[in-house]
């Protein structure tokens, strides 16, 4: 049975953004998807999960988010989490940038607070002045930055990114990576799924994943 303890007094420590313990999942066919996965992000920063396609990386993110129920294990998050998909078109739902971000804001905010939060979020991801911009006019990199802004307006402190640069051109790949790295320097925690080894030089630590199992963390220290 899975235990998910999200940003509550039951979390292991407010200093530990994410801890997962012995997650196990098998598909109905009998194929093992997660084989006793455990990891800990000891502090905020940019962390990466690296492995070949089919190694279980995307499945693990969806278990952390509560979108897939595993057979057993435990997830502890000290702050709310948001998932950024590989294809931003799968999560940007409304016609304009501002309308889409408004959708994810806490309901208790006043109209003035909502407008200010919208302005700040767009500015933080380099899309200042885009509130009325139709989403269909954005480039792939701009859409991915908008998806990250949606996490910021929703008070997320843990960002789960599922190969966010896979569909982008090289310049946009670098822009999105540098944006997330900068946000992490300001206190955000990100778990970034990738199979691009060249991206690892920008992270605080990386966890190798192979056939549903997670190896020992590799740090850049």
Q: Do residues 163 and 210 share a domain?
A: yes
Q: Do residues 8 and 29 share a domain?
A: yes
Q: What is the DSSP letter of 27?
A: -
Do the domain assignments include residue 150? yes
Task: Spell out the per-residue pLDDT of the chain, length 221, in tens.
Answer: 444 444 433 344 457 999 999 999 999 999 999 999 999 999 999 999 999 999 999 999 999 999 999 999 999 999 999 999 999 999 999 999 999 999 999 999 999 999 999 999 999 999 999 999 999 999 999 999 999 999 999 889 999 999 999 999 999 999 999 999 999 999 999 999 999 999 999 999 999 999 999 999 988 66
Do the domain assignments include residue 48? yes
Q: Do residues 174 and 75 share a domain?
A: yes
d(CA 207, CA 193) in angstroms, rounded, equals 10
Separation of first and last alpha carbons in the chain = 36
Q: Do residues 69 and 37 share a domain?
A: yes
pLDDT score, position 221: 61
pLDDT score, position 155: 86
Is 23 in contact with 73 (CB distance < 8 Å)?
A: yes
**Can you spell out the DSSP letters for 126-152?**
T-TT-TT-BGGGS-HHHHHHHHHHHHH
d(CA 78, CA 80) in angstroms, rounded, equals 7
Do the domain assignments include residue 87? no
Both tokens of residue 185? 């320097």
Do the domain assignments include residue 211? yes
Domain count, the chain: 2
Of 156, 190, 212, the one marking the end of a domain is 156
d(CA 144, CA 66) in angstroms, rounded, equals 22
Q: Do residues 152 and 203 share a domain?
A: no
pLDDT score, position 93: 93
Of 134, 156, 178, the one marking the end of a domain is 156
CATH number where 204 lies: 3.40.50.300
CA distances from 117 to 69, 92, 98, 111, 127 (A): 33, 18, 10, 10, 13
Range of the domain at 5: 1-80+159-221
Q: Do residues 103 and 177 share a domain?
A: no
Do the domain assignments include residue 103? yes
Do the domain assignments include residue 85? no
Instruction: Classify strands 18-26 and 32-41 as parallel, antiparallel or unpaired.
Output: antiparallel
Q: Do residues 41 and 102 share a domain?
A: no
Q: Is the sign of the CA dihedral 182, 96, 137, 160 positive or negative? A: positive
Cβ-Cβ contacts under 8 Å for 171 (sequence gap 6 or more): 141
Of 156, 178, 204, the one marking the end of a domain is 156
Do the domain assignments include residue 112? yes
Q: Do residues 59 and 163 share a domain?
A: yes
Cβ-Cβ contacts under 8 Å for 14 (sequence gap 6 or more): 78
Q: Do residues 52 and 99 share a domain?
A: no
Is 70 in contact with 2 (CB distance < 8 Å)?
A: yes
d(CA 206, CA 46) in angstroms, rounded, equals 9
Query: Model pTM?
Result: 0.90
pLDDT score, position 5: 46
Q: Do residues 1 and 76 share a domain?
A: yes
């Amino acid at each position: 049975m899975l235990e998910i303890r999200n940003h509550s007094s039951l979390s292991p420590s407010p200093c530990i953004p994410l801890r997962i313990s012995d997650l196990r999942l098998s598909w109905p066919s009998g194929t093992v998807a997660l084989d006793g996965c455990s990891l800990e992000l000891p502090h905020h920063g940019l962390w990466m999960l690296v492995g070949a396609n089919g190694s279980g990386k995307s499945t693990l993110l969806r278990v952390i988010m509560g979108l897939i129920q595993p057979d057993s294990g435990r997830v502890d998050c000290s702050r709310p989490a948001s998932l950024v998909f590989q294809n931003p078109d799968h999560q940007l739902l409304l016609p304009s940038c501002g309308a889409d971000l408004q959708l994810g804001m806490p309901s208790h905010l006043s109209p003035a607070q909502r407008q200010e939060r919208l302005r700040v979020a767009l500015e933080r991801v380099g899309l200042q002045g885009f509130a009325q911009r139709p989403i269909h006019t954005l480039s792939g990199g701009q859409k991915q930055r908008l998806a990250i802004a949606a996490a910021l307006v929703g008070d997320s402190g843990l960002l789960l990114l599922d190969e966010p640069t896979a569909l982008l051109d090289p310049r946009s790949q670098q822009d999105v990576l540098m944006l997330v790295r900068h946000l992490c320097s300001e206190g955000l925690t990100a778990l970034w799924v990738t199979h691009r080894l060249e991206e690892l030089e920008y992270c605080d630590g990386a966890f190798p994943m192979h056939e549903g199992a997670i190896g020992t963390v590799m740090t850049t220290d």
